[in-house]
Structure 1
Amino acid sequence: MPVSRSGRPTAAQLLIGARLRQLRTEAGLSTRQAAAELGTSASALHRMEGHGVGLEPGRVRRLLSAYGREAEAGAVLADVERASRPGWWDAYRDVLPRSPADLIGLEEHAYVIRLYAPAVVPDLLQTPAYAEALQRVRHPEEDDRRIARRVELVVRRQAVLERADPAPPVVWALLEEAALRRRVGDAEVMRGQLAHLRLLAARPGVTIRVVPMYTVHTALLCGPVQLLRYRPASLPDRVLLHTLDGIEVEDRRDVVAQYLIALDSAASVPDSVPISAWRTDWEDARA
């Protein structure tokens, strides 16, 4: 099974491997015992479970049989087949930020997405008009066609919030007041963006809060952060760090733990308010 062009396993591969590890544990088999059933080494099975390496359909079917899960073979093998295909975002490589190839796959498979935005509204929460205005600032040298393509990519990424099966991810976003007072585009763009945030926050499973500028907390020191959590829980959280060069994915447990502590610190700020209760002079301004 191919991996992403970065050389890393894709999110889909990691999830399949984690699912196989969970099924083995539930079957009461050790790594060595399951490897013997497969006719391979324990280290090879460990790579399959931990890194999604070697997920050939025949091997997966044999493992499911050993675990007494033949009834699930069809669904798991369909996942294996899907994981071998390029993601829809592959067609946007010309405008993807410098980042691991499976960045969007990591978003699409998350069941919890936590966002911290100190400066601007995060991509997943932007309106098309706000996204266009921001892309023109980030890429002033590009023509209208390229800008439109970048905005299209942002909008397509947001489809994860609308998915039906599995259910949409739980979203928790903390925005600094500065991110909502900073003018991106004109007043009309800002009014539309604020209205959009309130509509999103009215959905089940979506929380958007605003931290006033007079507060100080740990997350202020780390910049924009996106934390992704998966099922099964044995698959570690990922942190996406937004930089000028692109987006870096961090999965080392100690580093992720530091960012999780920072986000929890920001979440506990007593003066933060829900987006529905936050008001700004943008809403009274004329375009």
Structure 2
Amino acid sequence: MVANREDPIVHRIQLGSELRRLREAAGRTTTEAAEHLDCGQPRISKIEHGKLGIKPDEVQLLLDFYGASDEDAEAVLELAARRRSRTRLSYRDAVPRWFRRFLALESAACDLRIYETECITGLLQTAEYTRAVIRAWEPDADDQEIERQVHARLSRQAVLTRTDPPPARLEVIFNEYALRRVIGGSETMSVIQSPYQPSR
């Protein structure tokens, strides 16, 4: 249950999921949990869906209210403490806010399955290819912004080379157009090759 990635969004989602599991196991409603914490029901819902954080003392109040076992309480409190101590991914400011939750989940994934119709998926792009894609989609972006986005996209590839936990397993289905579409000229296309070994 304890998260194995650094991003606090992942920890928040896991913590919320565990609190929901314990609430449901106790036969309690979100309204009852909200009354116990002296807050509104929407806050409990947001906490359980990983959209809002919760203080450790509030976690303890809910654990007591749900009658959580010592083992469950210890694991959930550890998760709550870890969530508060982690730092955010370094490239978060280079991507839109709505995309950050996806990136957090992607970075913690064990298996990734992608269907791509337009271009090579970001997890397999080279720096040259990424620059060409960004220039095509954002022709007014300056060089500094382009490099920030290139760094952000290439940083995502760490999920495929990490050692702890083991790398994610990646399955990609490309539309033929995505493979044949020339982006950035023939020189850019000629360097498209993945340093990752195919799954066996």
TM-score, scaled to structure 2: 0.71
Identity over aligned residues, as a percent?
27
CA-based RMSD:
3.4
Please, which runs of 5 or more residues in structure 1 have no aligned partner? 1-9, 205-287
Give, in whole Å, the separation in 1 of the partners of 2:177 and 2:125.
16
On the 8 A contact 2:159/2:167 being kept in 1, the answer is yes
State the match for 2:90 in structure 1. Answer: 88
State the match for 1:67 in structure 2. Answer: 68
Give, in whole Å, the separation in 2 of the partners of 1:142 and 1:173.
29
State the match for 2:4 in structure 1. Answer: none
Cα distance, 1:51 vs structure 2: 4.7
Give, in whole Å, the separation in 1 of the partners of 2:187 and 2:157.
21
1:168 aligns with 2:167: yes
The residue type equivalent to 2:80 in the other structure is L
Task: Determine which of 36, 48, 52 is the counterpart of 1:39.
Answer: 36
1:202 aligns with 2:190: no
> Which structure has the higher relative contact order (CA within 8 Å, separation 6+)?
2
Q: Which has the higher helix share?
A: 2
State the match for 2:191 in structure 1. Answer: 192
Give, in whole Å, the separation in 2 of the partners of 1:48 and 1:142.
36
Please, which runs of 5 or more residues in structure 2 have no aligned partner? 1-8
Evaluate the alpha carbon distance shift between residue 100 and residue 163 of structure 1 in structure 2; reply closer, same or farther with a 3 A threshold: same
Evaluate the alpha carbon distance shift between residue 185 and residue 13 of structure 1 in structure 2; reply closer, same or farther with a 3 A threshold: same
Give, in whole Å, the separation in 1 of the partners of 2:109 and 2:177.
28
Cα distance, 1:117 vs structure 2: 1.2
Cα distance, 1:167 vs structure 2: 3.6
Cα distance, 1:64 vs structure 2: 4.2
**Which SS does the other structure have where 2:183 is aligned?**
coil
State the match for 1:125 in structure 2. Answer: 124
The residue type equivalent to 2:26 in the other structure is L
Evaluate the alpha carbon distance shift between residue 52 and residue 90 of structure 1 in structure 2; reply closer, same or farther with a 3 A threshold: closer
Give, in whole Å, the separation in 2 of the partners of 1:61 and 1:115.
39
The residue type equivalent to 1:88 in the other structure is S
Give, in whole Å, the separation in 2 of the partners of 1:161 and 1:185.
25
1:171-195 alpha-carbon deviations (Å, 9 max, x no partner): 22110122112222343432321x3
**Which SS does the other structure have where 1:88 is aligned?**
coil
Q: How many residues align?
A: 186
Give, in whole Å, the separation in 1 of the partners of 2:14 and 2:74.
19
**Hey, which bits of structure 1, 4+ residues long, moved more than 6 A?**
none
State the match for 1:77 in structure 2. Answer: 80
